[in-house]
Structure 1
Amino acid sequence: KFSIAMLLLGLCILSSAAKAQVLYGSLTGKVTDQSGAALPNATVEAVNTGTGVTQTATTDAAGDYRFNALQPGTYKVSISASGFATKVFERMDVGANVVRRVDTQLEVATQKQTLTVTSEAPLLQTDKADVHGNLTRREVNDLPSAGSQGRNFQSLLQLIPGAGLTSETNSLAGNPERAMNTNVNGQSNQSVNTRIDGTQDAYPWLPANVAYVPPSDAIEEVNVVTNSFDAEQGMAGGAAVNVQIKSGTNQFHGSADWFHTDQNFAALNYFSRPGTTINRNNQNQFGGTFGGPIKKDKLFFFGDYERTTQRGKAGPDTRTLPTAQMATGDFRNLPGNPIIYDPATGDSHGAGKQQVSCNGVQNVICPNRIDPASAALIQLLQPSIANEVAPNNLGLNNFFGSGTALFNRDNADIKINYVPTQKSMVFARYSFSRILVFDPPLLGDAGGDATNGGQLGNAPGLIQSVGLGATDTFTPNLLFDWNFGYTRQRLGATFDLGTPKGLDLLKIPGTNGAGNPNNNFLYNGLPAFQVQSAAANVNFGNPNTGNPYLFRDNQFVSGANLSWTHGR
């Protein structure tokens, strides 16, 4: 899937307004004297308190100033003019895809004087038409954001006005990031478009989900636009979600965390019977972050790593299997002593059929009459047969199977920011998620159903995301920004693909891709066997019709904006 969104030229005839780019924030305002008259040629300086990067602007004839591309963060803003006291705003938070307005009035000073403003009430948004909400890094880190496999910032999207409850869908193998989806403003959950540092974060096969979910500790902020999107935020009917990964600063900073939960922290249902226990479910999520300067005020790095693991009891499931005697062809001890008929006798209507026998012993099948494929499958079943329990009075439910379900996921991000001049910025980011899900087959080597209810056996995956971006302020009124994104999603469920067992072991002609030498790998494994009766059903082999599968999806996105702000 390849998409290119390019806006070559935007002519914005606005009254002293600044246009916020999706990846960056904007700061604008009007400077006046005590009489309310505009102050042209006043100097406005914005210093990023984290990186030390400084940008300077000058007010125009109307007293307006603008910074069109500020890296999200906290800024110290100083406004000065000849003959007036300098005013300093110590902490001005600027978010991505947000226009922050700071209007001020300077007082006449008879000597050098500085007025410091430590807090400023936010003004009503008047410089953009969109409707949006922001999740700050503190909210993402501190608010409860638990999913089924650890923390997930998407669970906080329900705090945005217009958003519904968030939920997880699909199996662990199909959605290993445990991406959540929600309906916004009554729209479909497939109409929420998510980008990470400008990179499209889509899951083509399951469009309600995203391909990659960054660790909560890696997120600087989440900007959610729910109405009146800019053109560059297309492909969104319900909401445009813009995720910013953290950047390094002039100081070295790091963090470490560990989250643990298990069955002992879980509560039983109120109506559970006395003595009910909860299956083992041991989950851990741990990791850390580290960032700082490579070259002070110029070059910065940030990295994070997070590992999520789960070990839990899968099952138990109840099945009816052949007994050890039945596995040899001996059916003499079946409850009720039913007659086993020889399928090689009688006509199509059953007339003339005879009871099976071996050397005169009835209800016994001679070994030479047992199909080799069935005999081989019975051998795969022997470990399960050896663990059979006493059946019920109908001879059913003689096997209880369980196993240990496994989930491993490693997430990491690395981001580099470079500020060559006051007017330009460049960044590069690489993220990956490596996954292994194992859902144990009920019958071991003989396959059967997945005891944890997902995709049978191993389900490995690797998701990679790359983001590149640059911005250059040619003049206070002319801004160019560009970004490129690439996402590669490789997921699969590969149960029993090691050898072509259907052909080599069971000797069943036509299985395992015979005559398809270029596709043998995906045709390997056991075929499915389904034994059904009025009393009991049991599956052998690989009964999941979706297995095996393996797909690799590549997504590219590139966007460029040239914005010109002119006139009133």
Structure 2
Amino acid sequence: MNPVRSSLTFRLIQLLVGLFALLCVAIAQIGRGTLTGTIADPSGASIPGAAITLTHSDTGVKMSGQSGSVGNYYFSSLVPGAYTIDVSATGFREYTQRGLTVSVGDIVTVNITLQLGATTDRVVVTAEAPQLKSDTSEISTAVASDYILDLPLTVEGTVRNPVYFMSLVPGYTGEVVGGFWANKVNGGQWYGTDIYVDGSTIQLTRPSIPSFNYGVSVEAVQEFRVQTNGFAAEYGRTSSGIVNLVMKSGTNMIHGTGYEFLRNKALDANDFFANKGGIDNRSKNQHDYGFVVSGPVYIPKIYDGRNKLFWMSSQEKYRYPGAGFALVTVPTDAFKHGDLSALLPGTIIYDPATCNLGTCVPFTNNQIPESRFSAVSKNVISLLPKGSDSLVNNAQNITKNPVDAYFYTEKDVNVSDKQKISGSITRGPKNSNNTSSLGPIYSDTGGTSTTYIRLSHDYIFKPNLLNHFNYGLSRSPDARNVNTAGLKQYQPSALGLNNVPDLTFPGINWTGTSYLSRGSEFSRFVNQTTQLNEDFTWVHGRHNLKFGADVRRQQFNVARRENGSGLFEFNPQSTADLANVDNPGGHAWASFLLGIVKSSNLRVGINVRNQWNYYGMYAQDDYKVTSKLTLNYGLRYEIPYTVAEAGDRLSGFDTSVANPGADGRLGAYVYFGKGPGRNGRRHPQDTFFKSFGPRFGFAYSVNPKTVVRGGYGISYSPLKESGYAGEDTIGFAAQASPSNF
């Protein structure tokens, strides 16, 4: 596929969906829950055309509708919370039921019987909706806000993560794999669970980094639901269930909460076995604190936003004043001036310039004249930390560790009974800096700064016709570099090191010594997912029909330079007499002073922008066959395009191509893209165009206390990036071995 055409196609789809949303006037919250049921008279006969009003108890936001031709009604895209339903029909008493609780991703069934009488009379019921779900074959578990706030989460080395509440769900399996928390449900694949925050995925492109949460505060979560089986056709791209997190929103009342979770050695007890062994096993001091505040937009005498415009803001900070302590050795002052006599008599330093036919002459008294020093080595020495005069001098290396912080802001607009708008932005920086007391050469900076942006819109054309649009951006950059980045005096050019990029202080390794060494990493990684969803709901008779499209672009941008300013290894062999088998001598520091590099590595040009476009569409019908039997069936179709690089900087081995350098035998290295020397393809793999995902399920209510469910479905795992995306870039990236130290 032409890369320009592919990019334009994606942007055109984004533009069309965006224009459609603007024609609907605005943007609102993702569909979160559904309330459905039937309106009947005392004999059980359906009542069509009954007027229904649904009111959110906390915000006063109303939705209006009518019962259908068979007495059924259907309200979707409901914000989780408590609702009041009012029903009226000619010849019947008005009916009000309060305390209906709708959860995220939930389908709540409330069947209402109207009593004969004057419409001026009213029947009021205060009771929650039945918890037994009789209209869906889906198996799921909701974790409500009171559980989220009341149940403990570990505060041990990192900020609390609401996704860890998945462990409450039947069928959950979780463990730490490679330093990352991995999970799956119902025997699915590791990292196969798709996680949604306010209706858009936070799924990343690398399997070795799960969709962990950096950016959502526990205190800001309203609730979440884990869908493990039998989910509708509107969901795909998962092999291990769906997690739906919904954030809190503002209400008609101003609410505020402040909190701090504190762990302190002074308050913790040491355990028995640690006490017996003389070990202090108490927790390090940790602070997890923040606030959540929400309410209506209200400006006295100017604007009253109650029932219309709401806001919510939260902030969570985590402080873990951890520190590391180690005793390390650095070169002595005498070594820095070329005096290595302290190594005698055990280690002799030989002059490599005198070696002739395997025989070398040692430096007098192991002293190297400063006139023989490499100019680069002289400049490096002036920047190294000072140690004592002992060969093992126990310099103190003290490191300090990170602070995490989450920030979240949301606004909701109730334009009218027909139209609602919502938007939110979340920032979640997670630092992993290590500052050394030995200076910037031995310090590093890193961290992930997650950003979630959500925009959505709901519009009710008719009581039985609803359109929902949702846009989501999830971006997670990851930075890693030593702290000499940007400091002029530490750059290779300032040291006299030519033809090496000015990124950081060059990495140096003294083989055979206990000297503290460091690389020269300066890398940047960015995971990003953009998602557009358009969903249309039509209630027709006994059918609740839903149609929609799901468009996504995932990106993994890599500027990978672990040794961006080079890694230089100095070895004792360069100043040894190799002919003397019993005691060849030599020392890596002496080789360093003379500028004799044994080996080196320099990464050049690994800059990759891998992209995956995904297009999905679905149709779903929930058919109420009888008052006891509901059928849920649908079909999802997906086109998951394989990886393409933005600048066509991909290459690989193709077993079907004749190799001109091997007498035409099959198997040659090829370069993707169009133009001279390219194979005309943009994607290394073929796209699978047969991703049909049928869904079928039923729910049968045997009696008010028993529901039997069953279902069948096919869903497809998303395509993932292996490693760090730099494996297939031969010809566009390289590793050099400079020796001009």
Aligned residue pairs, count = 510
Deviations 1:521-553 (A, max 9, x none): xx42112112222xx54442x326xx2112344
Aligned to 1:203: 204
Stretch moving more, 413-422 or 265-274: 265-274
| Alpha-carbon distance, 1:565 to partner | 2.7
Aligned to 1:191: 192
Q: How does 1:309-458 map to 2 (within 5 A)?
A: 309-316=319-326, 318-334=327-343, 337-347=346-356, 351-357=358-364, 362-383=365-386, 385-386=387-388, 396=392, 398-399=393-394, 401-441=396-436, 443-447=438-442, 457-458=444-445
Larger RCO (CA within 8 A; separation ≥ 6):
1
The answer to whether the 8 Å contact 1:211/1:489 transfers is no
Aligned to 1:150: 159
Residues 342 and 262 (structure 1 numbering): CA distance in 2 closer, same or farther, change over 3 Å?
farther
Deviations 1:40-80 (A, max 9, x none): 34333321110111223332342222212322211012334
The answer to whether the 8 Å contact 1:477/1:566 transfers is yes
The answer to whether the 8 Å contact 1:6/1:559 transfers is no
Residues 509 and 61 (structure 1 numbering): CA distance in 2 closer, same or farther, change over 3 Å?
closer
Stretch moving more, 400-409 or 306-315: 400-409
Q: 1: CA distance between counterparts of 2:186 and 2:540?
A: 34
Residues 241 and 411 (structure 1 numbering): CA distance in 2 closer, same or farther, change over 3 Å?
same
Residue identity in the other structure for 1:346 = C
Deviations 1:11-56 (A, max 9, x none): xxxxxxxxxx963211111233333232334333321110111223
Q: 1:150 aligns to what SS in structure 2?
A: coil
Residues 475 and 168 (structure 1 numbering): CA distance in 2 closer, same or farther, change over 3 Å?
farther
Aligned to 1:518: none
Aligned residue among 233, 241, 247 for 2:243: 241
Residues 184 and 47 (structure 1 numbering): CA distance in 2 closer, same or farther, change over 3 Å?
same
4+ residue runs over 6 A deviation: 1-8
Aligned residue among 308, 313, 321 for 1:298: 308
Unaligned runs of 5+ in 1: 9-20, 171-178, 448-455, 514-522
Q: 1: CA distance between counterparts of 2:366 and 2:462?
A: 94
Residues 441 and 187 (structure 1 numbering): CA distance in 2 closer, same or farther, change over 3 Å?
farther
Aligned residue among 233, 245, 249 for 1:231: 233
The answer to whether the 8 Å contact 2:101/2:128 transfers is no
Deviations 1:381-409 (A, max 9, x none): 333x14x7x6xxxx65x425432323233
Aligned to 1:467: 454
| Alpha-carbon distance, 1:263 to partner | 4.4
The answer to whether the 8 Å contact 2:163/2:213 transfers is no
> Given the alignment of the two structures, is residue 558 of structure 1 paired with residue 548 of structure 2, yes or no?
no
Deviations 1:234-253 (A, max 9, x none): 22211222211111111111
Stretch moving more, 55-64 or 95-104: 55-64
The answer to whether the 8 Å contact 2:158/2:404 transfers is no
Aligned to 2:468: 481
Q: How does 1:28-43 map to 2 (within 5 A)?
A: 28-43=36-51
TM-score by length of 1: 0.81
Identity of aligned residues (%): 25
Q: 1:342 aligns to what SS in structure 2?
A: strand
Residue identity in the other structure for 1:303 = S
| Alpha-carbon distance, 1:208 to partner | 1.2
Q: 1: CA distance between counterparts of 2:423 and 2:282?
A: 44
Q: 2: CA distance between counterparts of 1:446 and 1:560?
A: 51
The answer to whether the 8 Å contact 1:528/1:539 transfers is no
Residue identity in the other structure for 1:315 = F
Q: 1: CA distance between counterparts of 2:177 and 2:63?
A: 43
Residues 5 and 190 (structure 1 numbering): CA distance in 2 closer, same or farther, change over 3 Å?
farther
> Given the alignment of the two structures, is residue 69 of structure 1 paired with residue 71 of structure 2, yes or no?
no
Residues 446 and 409 (structure 1 numbering): CA distance in 2 closer, same or farther, change over 3 Å?
closer
The answer to whether the 8 Å contact 2:425/2:453 transfers is yes
Unaligned runs of 5+ in 2: 1-6, 18-28, 298-304, 543-741
TM-score by length of 2: 0.63
Deviations 1:343-372 (A, max 9, x none): 322246xx3222211xxxx12222222323
Residues 254 and 416 (structure 1 numbering): CA distance in 2 closer, same or farther, change over 3 Å?
same
Residues 120 and 6 (structure 1 numbering): CA distance in 2 closer, same or farther, change over 3 Å?
farther
Q: Compute the RMSD of aligned alpha carbons.
A: 3.2
| Alpha-carbon distance, 1:144 to partner | 1.0
Residues 83 and 76 (structure 1 numbering): CA distance in 2 closer, same or farther, change over 3 Å?
same
Aligned residue among 143, 148, 158 for 1:135: 143
Q: 1:154 aligns to what SS in structure 2?
A: helix
| Alpha-carbon distance, 1:480 to partner | 0.9
Aligned to 1:97: 105
The answer to whether the 8 Å contact 1:459/1:491 transfers is yes
Residues 266 and 461 (structure 1 numbering): CA distance in 2 closer, same or farther, change over 3 Å?
farther
Residues 6 and 29 (structure 1 numbering): CA distance in 2 closer, same or farther, change over 3 Å?
farther
Residue identity in the other structure for 2:221 = I
| Alpha-carbon distance, 1:435 to partner | 4.3
Q: 1:62 aligns to what SS in structure 2?
A: coil
Residue identity in the other structure for 1:249 = T
